Amino acid sequence: MKRLAAIAIMVTFSALAWAQGPASGPVAIDRNEAEMVFSKEQGGWKKRIPAVLVTPQGAFLAATEHRPSTSDGSLTGIFLARKVQGGEWEYDLETLAYNAGGWGKFMNPSFTIDEKGAHGPAGRIFLFFLAMDTPTGLAPNATATQMASCYVYSDDDGRTWSEIARVPHGSWGDTYEWMVPSPANGIQLEDGTLMIPCMGRGSGHWYSAILYKRPGEDWRYSKATEEDEDNESICYLGSDGEVYLNCRNEANGHVRNLYRFDVSSNSLVKVDNPFDPNIICQGTICKASSEGRDFYLMSLCDPTEYNRRNRITVWVSPDALHWTKAVRITDESGSAGYSAIDFRDGKCGVVWEDDSTIETIGFTDLTPFVPVFLKCID
């Protein structure tokens, strides 16, 4: 663990100083000073696809894939960690270790909170993920019987977790071969509905969809997105009150396709997305509120001409459509480029793939940067 007090002083000074005057660009964090929430100390091997959550009690939860190699075909498990603000990380390396419960490999951690108490006790934390048991460990050629949308949940703010449960296969419908959670947190609507961003396969192509559950009803999937090769996706509640799905597309230069969820037809309707950064990485979007003002935060690369996985950045937007670069998390040096961000009740945390060897996941408490975020939407 690296100098938490020094980090807090550095971050607070930088954030407040930047917020007092005109912005000339994003504030840069010295990533050499950041905490390493996951490293070789936790079981060696590689660490990829991080997730983060601010819990109802104000703690930070983090998750990452634990891989023998960088390959997506690795025999992957998911590691968990929890800390209170200013405290030390406590680890759970067993609940979702590779083949826990005989499920095979686990990928794509995705947190969601039932704040309304519509699906159990209020404050229940869900961790969704995909489970896969294939000869190659790779998803593109997997059959429906080899893939599963699974979850565990915690009723004590992420300290302990339930047994693994699965979403019934029948929820998939007939519009795709299989559909599983995407690596981005879900959301909850005012009526208690949980919504989880997903990715899946059909007719040899990738597609995206939303997995959702209304109070008292079974799990259900939306219809698939209309564009071939939509895959990793992010869902959020827009400033207009509509649910949107932002998708990474592997065709046409990795555009970011955007869809509005039409509840009446259970379908995703494509809409214009003015933000199209040509980025090959997944990112995350979360809604935030401070001083009576709502805004959106996104963790995503700000690529250079020669490297589309570097310069992981926190972006700020008033509408999740038009974005301003606020905080630079990594520099020109490379990593695999994935990151995640979350904000709740004034607290904010970000995790990211930190080094070119893909062995560490960084974490920074961005709560002192809230003045920077507000400055971006002035």
Whether residue 276 has pLDDT greater than 60: yes
What mean pLDDT is reported for the chain? 89
How many CB atoms lie under 10 A from the CB of residue 296?
Answer: 24
Q: Specify the pLDDT at position 196.
A: 98
Residues 302-312 have a mean pLDDT of 78
Least confident of 10-24, 189-203, 243-257, 271-285: 10-24
Whether 163 has a pLDDT exceeding 80, the answer reads: yes
> Could you report the per-residue pLDDT of 326-367, keeping only the tens digit for each?
999 988 776 889 999 999 999 999 999 988 888 999 999 999
The pLDDT assigned to 4 comes to: 32
Q: Over pLDDT 70: what percentage of the chain?
A: 91
**Residue 279 pLDDT class (50, 70, 90 cuts):** confident
90-141 confidence digits (pLDDT tens): 999 999 999 999 999 999 999 999 999 999 999 999 999 999 999 888 998 8
Please state the rounded mean pLDDT for residues 183-195. Answer: 97
Say whether pLDDT at 2 is over 60. Answer: no
pLDDT of residue 44: 84
Q: What's residue 7's pLDDT?
A: 36
Per the structure, how many domains does the chain have? 1
Query: For residues 340 and 183, what is the distance between their CA atoms, to the nearest angstrom?
Result: 9
Stretch 71-94: mean pLDDT: 94
* CATH number of the domain within which 283 lies: 2.120.10.10
Residue 33's closest CA among 63, 1, 62?
1
Report pLDDT digits (tens) over 221-262: 999 999 999 999 999 999 999 999 999 998 877 789 999 999
Residue 378 pLDDT grade (very low, low, confident, very high; cuts 50, 70, 90): confident
- Tell me which long-range contacts 142-149 makes (C-beta under 8 A, separation of at least 24): 142/178, 142/201, 143/177, 143/178, 144/169, 144/172, 144/177, 144/178, 147/178, 147/180, 148/103, 148/180, 149/179, 149/180, 149/181, 149/198, 149/211
If pLDDT is split at 50, 70 and 90, which confidence band does 164 have? very high
Q: Supply the range of the domain harboring residue 166.
A: 4-376
Residue 86 is classified by DSSP as T
At 221 the pLDDT is 95
3-state secondary structure of 84: coil
